C-alpha cells in the first residue's frame, strides 16, 4: 500500500505512555499522533492495552474518543481491543488506511471484526509480531527446564520438608528440541536452546535455513519428527490451519516423557488429547502460557494436573513492550509514507 500524503494522522486507540508517543513522533516526524490520555482505560500494568475494565467513558468522553478515531488516517491499536469496535471504526471512517495491532497475533482480532472484502482491501493491518520474541523465548526455555529438572517434584519435596534419595535430572545439552514454528518467536527460541547446547529442529513451510536450527522439518512431517525428540516448543499463531495441529496423532507418536511448552496460541493444541497424553506419561511435563479458552475455565483438569505448569498468558509482558511496539510502529509509518512494504502485514485470507 502506498500513500502520497506527507503527513500521517494517527489516532491513539489504546493508551500508550506519553514518552513512547513522543518517541514515535521523533522517529517519524511526518506522523501526527492524535491522543487524549483521559479517554483511555487506565493501564493496570506495563503494556496493559485492554486497560481497567471498570473504567467507563462519559457520553462526552465517548463522543470525543469516536471523533478522534474518525479523523485519522491510521490507528495505533484496536479501539478498546474489541473487534466490534474495530469494525465500527473502519465503517465510520472511510479515510482509514492502516491499523496496527498491539498483539503479535492481531490477525485473529481482525478476523473477529467480520470486515468485508472491500474493507479488508482498503485498510492495511499490521501486528506486533516479533516484539515479544525474546520474552516468550525465555519462557519456552524456562518451561522445558522446569520439566527437565522436575520442578514439581522439587516443590513437593520442599513443601513436605522431605530429603529424598538423590535422583537424576535431564540436561538441555543432551536434548533434541523441536520448535513448531520458526517465525520471530521460534527463531529467538532456537537461539536460546542452541546456546544451551541442545540439538534444535524446527518446522517451516518455506524450508529455508534458519540460524541455530540444525534440521528443518516440513510441517507435513511433524508427527514423525515428534517421535524423535525430547522436547517440543509450540510458537504458532492461532489460525484455521493450525487449530489442534498438536493433537492425538502427534501425542501418540512421541516418546514417553516428552516435554512440551506452548507460547503461541492455545488453539494449536488439542487440550483433551494433551490431557490423555499427560495421564499416560507420553507427555512428561507441559508448561503452558496460552489456552484454547482464556481465562482457563475453573473446571479444566489442566489447573490441578501434577505435570502441568499453567501461566495466565503473561509470559510476553515486559517493561520494554510498549517502547518496542512504538519503534516498530514508527518504522512501519515510515514505510507507508515512503511507499515501501510494511512489516508484519496481516494475511486477510488466513489472518496470520
DSSP secondary structure letters along 244-313: T-BSHHHHHHSPTTEEEEE-S-GGGB-HHHHHHHHHTTSEEEEEES--SSSSPPTT-TTTT-TTEEE--S
- What is the average per-residue pLDDT within 104-128? 94
Q: Would the CATH topology of 8-127+319-338 be identical to that of 132-310?
A: yes
pLDDT digits (tens, 9 = 90+) for 19-60: 999 999 999 999 999 999 999 999 998 899 999 999 999 999
Superfamily covering domain 8-127+319-338: NAD(P)-binding Rossmann-like Domain (3.40.50.720)
Q: Which H or E run includes 31?
A: strand 31-34
CA atoms within 13 A on the CB side of 127: 21
Q: Can you say how many angstroms the Cα of residue 87 is from the centroid of all Cα atoms in its chain?
A: 22
What class, spelled out in words, does domain 132-310 have in CATH?
A: alpha beta
Query: What single-letter DSSP state applies at residue 49?
Result: S
Q: What is the mean pLDDT of residues 75-88?
A: 97
Report the pLDDT value the prediction gives residue 5, as an integer from 0 to 100. 54
Residue 105 has pLDDT above 90, yes or no: no
Mean of pLDDT over the chain: 95
Which tens digit of pLDDT belongs to each residue from 214-262? 999 999 999 999 999 999 999 998 888 899 999 999 999 999 999 999 9
Per-domain boundaries in the chain:
8-127+319-338, 132-310
| Per-residue confidence (pLDDT) for residue 3, from 0 to 100 | 46
Query: Can you tell me whether residue 182 is helix, strand or coil?
Result: coil
Close Cβ partners of 117 (under 8 Å, ≥ 6 residues apart): none
Query: What pTM did the predictor assign?
Result: 0.85
pLDDT value for 129: 87
Region 280-298: what's the mean pLDDT? Answer: 97
Confidence at residue 2, expressed as pLDDT on a 0 to 100 scale: 46
Per-residue pLDDT at 28 = 98
Which range among 276-280, 284-288, 324-328, 346-350 shows the weakest confidence by mean pLDDT? 346-350
Residues of the chain with pLDDT > 90, as a percent, come to: 89
Q: 281 — alpha (psi -120 to 50), left (phi > 0) or beta?
A: left
Cα dihedral value 21, 26, 28, 34, nearest 10: 30
Count Cβ neighbours within 10 Å for each residue of 104-117 and write b for 16 or more, e otherwise.
bbbbbbbbebebee
Q: Is the pLDDT at 197 greater than 60, yes or no? A: yes
Give the pLDDT score at 350: 83
Phi, psi of 321, deg, nearest 5: -60, -50
* String of DSSP letters for 223-238: HHHHTT-SEEEE----
Pick the more confident residue, 2 or 117.
117
Average pLDDT over residues 82-98: 97
> Once rounded to an integer, what is the mean pLDDT over residues 271-296?
98
Catalytic residues: 265, 294, 313
Residue 1 has pLDDT above 60, yes or no: no
**Strand 98-100 vs strand 124-126: parallel, antiparallel, or unpaired?**
parallel
Amino acid at each position: 500500500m502506498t500513500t502520497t500524503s506527507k503527513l500521517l494522522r494517527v489516532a491513539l486507540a489504546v493508551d500508550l505512555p506519553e514518552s513512547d508517543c513522543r518517541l514515535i513522533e521523533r522517529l517519524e516526524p511526518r506522523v501526527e499522533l492524535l491522543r487524549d490520555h483521559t479517554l483511555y482505560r487506565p493501564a493496570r500494568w506495563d503494556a496493559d492495552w485492554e486497560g481497567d475494565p471498570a473504567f467507563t467513558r462519559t457520553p462526552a468522553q465517548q463522543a470525543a474518543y469516536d471523533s478522534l478515531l474518525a479523523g485519522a488516517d491510521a490507528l495505533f491499536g484496536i479501539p478498546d481491543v474489541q473487534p466490534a469496535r474495530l469494525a465500527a471504526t473502519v465503517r465510520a471512517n472511510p479515510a482509514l488506511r492502516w491499523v496496527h495491532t498491539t498483539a503479535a497475533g492481531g490477525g485473529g482480532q481482525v478476523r473477529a471484526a467480520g470486515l468485508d472484502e472491500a474493507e479488508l482491501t482498503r485498510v492495511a493491518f499490521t501486528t506486533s509480531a516479533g516484539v515479544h520474541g525474546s520474552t516468550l523465548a525465555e519462557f519456552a526455555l524456562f518451561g522445558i527446564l522446569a520439566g527437565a529438572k522436575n520442578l514439581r517434584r522439587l516443590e513437593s519435596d520442599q513443601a513436605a520438608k522431605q530429603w529424598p534419595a538423590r535422583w537424576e535430572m535431564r540436561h538441555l545439552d543432551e536434548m533434541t528440541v523441536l520448535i513448531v514454528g520458526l517465525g520471530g518467536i521460534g527463531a529467538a527460541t532456537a537461539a536460546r536452546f542452541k546456546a544451551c547446547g541442545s540439538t534444535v529442529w524446527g518446522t517451516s513451510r518455506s524450508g529455508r535455513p534458519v540460524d541455530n536450527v540444525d534440521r528443518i522439518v516440513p510441517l507435513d512431517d511433524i508427527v514423525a519428527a515428534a517421535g524423535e525428540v525430547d522436547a517440543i516448543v509450540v510458537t504458532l499463531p492461532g489460525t484455521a490451519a493450525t487449530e489442534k495441529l498438536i493433537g492425538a496423532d502427534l501425542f501418540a507418536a512421541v516418546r514417553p516423557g516428552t516435554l512440551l511448552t506452548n507460547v503461541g496460541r492455545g488453539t494449536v493444541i488439542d487440550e483433551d488429547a494433551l490431557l490423555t497424553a499427560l495421564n499416560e506419561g507420553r507427555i512428561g511435563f507441559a508448561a503452558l502460557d496460552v489456552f484454547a479458552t482464556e481465562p482457563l475455565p475453573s473446571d479444566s483438569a489442566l489447573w490441578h494436573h501434577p505435570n502441568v505448569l499453567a501461566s495466565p498468558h503473561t509470559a510476553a509482558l515486559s517493561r520494554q513492550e510498549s517502547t518496542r511496539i512504538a519503534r516498530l510502529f514508527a518504522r512501519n509509518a515510515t514505510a507507508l509514507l515512503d511507499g515501501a512494504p510494511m512489516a508484519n502485514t496481516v494475511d486477510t485470507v488466513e489472518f496470520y
